[in-house]
Structure 1
Amino acid sequence: MKNKNRRNSHFMLFLKENSALVSQYVDKRLDFFNFYEIFQFFLFLTFRIHLIHRNRTK
C-alpha cells in the first residue's frame, strides 16, 4: 500500500513538472480539433510512464 502511494505521488510530480508542456500541446492541437492526436499523445505518455515504472521495480 505504501509503495502504491509513493508511485502515485511520483506520478503527480511528473504531471506537475510537465503540465505546462502538456497544456501547450493540447492548446495547439485543439485549434484543429484533432482529438485523435491528443489521445495518441496521452497514450504515449502513459506508456512511457508504465515503462519507467517497470524498469524501476526490476
Structure 2
Amino acid sequence: MAKKYSSNQIVAYLLVAVGTFLGYAIGGYFRSSLIGAVIGSLIGLYIASNYIR
C-alpha cells in the first residue's frame, strides 16, 4: 500500500537537506567541500534520527 509521507518524515528530510547545505558551506570555508558535505550530511542525519525517535 502506498502511503503518503508523514510530516515527521518531511521534516527529517528537510533537516538532512539543511545539514548537507551547512556541510557544503563549512567545506567551502575549509576549501574541502567533500569532507564538509560528509560532515554536514552526518550531522543532518543525526539530528533527523533524534527528531524521529
TM range (shorter): 0.5 to 0.7
For 2:38, give the aligned amino acid.
L
For the residues of structure 1 that align with 2:17 and 2:43, how far apart are their CA atoms?
15
| Larger RCO (CA under 8 A, 6+ residues apart) | 2
* Two-structure CA RMSD over aligned residues (Å): 3.3
**Unaligned stretches of 5+ residues in structure 1:** 30-36
Higher helix share: 1
What is the percent sequence identity of the aligned residues? 7
TM-score in terms of structure 1 length: 0.49
> In the comparison of the two structures, how many residue pairs are matched?
45
Q: Select the structure of larger CA radius of gyration.
A: 1
TM-score in terms of structure 2 length: 0.52
Change (3 A) 1:11 1:51: closer
